[in-house]
């Protein structure tokens, strides 16, 4: 092979390889390998000067990927922007990147397990119906709003079954009896929207967004 390179460098001033020297430098081929090599060597003789082997042509290598390689790495040859596995998938960019979706998020978690979350909402609902206005975080105010509306809706019905449902949710019995006595006159003509959330300054310390929630 070294002799073929020397012969090519000396015979061609344009640094072209000699096909005869390449054929002579090849090892003795087997029966199956000789036909493929001969076809590969004779193929460039078909008027395709672009297929001629030149020393000036740089070999084309696959780019190294930082993550997993895409499904078809051949398509990424020559593209400098394809450097990771994420480029093999379409992404939505509206100012921020999203890699996962939170499907079925119907209940705000409030950073608590289910039993503690229900106890927190029951306590907040009891305090709001007792005092008429409380101050809490915006997330808790938005989460407890539907429970307060549900208790008022139960009180508007006024039946024994609805009263027992309210007693099972509100902690203080006196509030339930007062609620069932006052709600029909106060909210008889209103269909929903019994609470109001007013935003206020963030909480000092952790800068949590705060709000007042009150009965209308």
Q: DSSP of 64-123, one letter per residue? A: PPSSSPPS-GGGGTT-TT--SGGGGS----SSS------TT--S--TTS-HHHHHHHHHH
Q: Is the pTM value of this prediction over 0.75? A: no
Kindly state whether residue 14 falls inside one of the protein's structural domains.
yes
Kindly state whether residue 154 falls inside one of the protein's structural domains.
yes
State whether 15 and 87 are in the same domain: no
Kindly state whether residue 164 falls inside one of the protein's structural domains.
yes
Average pLDDT over residues 142-170: 96
State whether 132 and 166 are in the same domain: yes
pLDDT score, position 106: 80
With cut-offs at 50, 70 and 90, classify the pLDDT of residue 56: low
| 211 or 90, greater pLDDT | 211
- The pair phi, psi for residue 208, each rounded to 5°, is -75, 140
Residues 4/18/23/60 CA torsion (nearest 10 deg) = 90
Which sign does the torsion angle of CA 91, 95, 97, 98 carry?
Answer: negative
Kindly state whether residue 99 falls inside one of the protein's structural domains.
no
Kindly state whether residue 6 falls inside one of the protein's structural domains.
yes
Structural domain count of the chain:
3
State whether 30 and 120 are in the same domain: no
State whether 47 and 73 are in the same domain: no
Radius of gyration (Cα) for the chain, nearest Å? 39
State whether 31 and 74 are in the same domain: no
With cut-offs at 50, 70 and 90, classify the pLDDT of residue 90: very low
Kindly state whether residue 21 falls inside one of the protein's structural domains.
yes
HSE on the CB side for 118, CA within 13 Å? 5
Q: Is the pLDDT of residue 50 over 80?
A: no
Instruction: Determine if residue 15 is left, alpha or beta; phi over 0 gives left, psi from -120 to 50 gives alpha, anything else beta.
Output: left
Could you list the residue range(s) of the whole structural domain that residue 77 is in? 62-91
State whether 126 and 148 are in the same domain: yes
Q: Is the pLDDT of residue 134 over 50?
A: yes
pLDDT score, position 101: 73
State whether 162 and 191 are in the same domain: yes
Pairing outcome for strands 210-215 and 133-137: antiparallel
State whether 176 and 128 are in the same domain: yes
Average pLDDT over residues 74-83: 50
Distance from C-alpha of 150 to C-alpha of 210, rounded to nearest angstrom: 23
pLDDT score, position 17: 59
Q: Is the pLDDT of residue 1 over 50?
A: no
The percent of residues above 90 in pLDDT, for the chain, comes to 50
State whether 211 and 118 are in the same domain: yes
State whether 141 and 209 are in the same domain: yes
Q: Are the beta carbons of 52 and 44 closer than 8 angstroms?
A: yes
């Amino acid at each position: 092979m070294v002799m073929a390179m020397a012969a090519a460098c000396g015979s061609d001033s344009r640094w072209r390889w000699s096909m005869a020297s390449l054929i002579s430098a090849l090892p003795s081929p087997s029966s199956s390998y000789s036909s493929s090599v001969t076809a590969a060597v004779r193929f460039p003789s078909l008027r395709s000067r672009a297929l001629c082997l030149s020393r000036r042509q740089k070999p084309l290598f696959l780019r190294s990927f930082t993550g997993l390689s895409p499904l078809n790495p051949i398509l990424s040859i020559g593209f400098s922007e394809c450097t990771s596995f994420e480029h093999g998938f379409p992404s939505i960019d509206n100012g921020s990147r999203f890699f996962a979706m939170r499907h079925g998020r119907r209940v705000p978690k409030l950073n608590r397990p289910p039993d503690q979350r229900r106890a927190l909402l029951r306590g907040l609902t009891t305090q709001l119906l007792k005092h008429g206005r409380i101050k809490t975080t915006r997330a808790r105010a938005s989460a407890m709003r539907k429970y307060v509306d549900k208790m008022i809706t139960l009180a508007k019905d006024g039946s024994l079954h609805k009263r027992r449902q309210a007693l099972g949710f509100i902690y203080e019995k006196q509030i339930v009896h007062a609620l069932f006595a006052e709600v029909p006159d106060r909210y008889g003509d209103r269909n929903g929207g019994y609470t109001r959330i007013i935003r206020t300054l963030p909480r000092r310390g952790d800068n949590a967004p705060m709000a007042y929630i009150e009965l209308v």
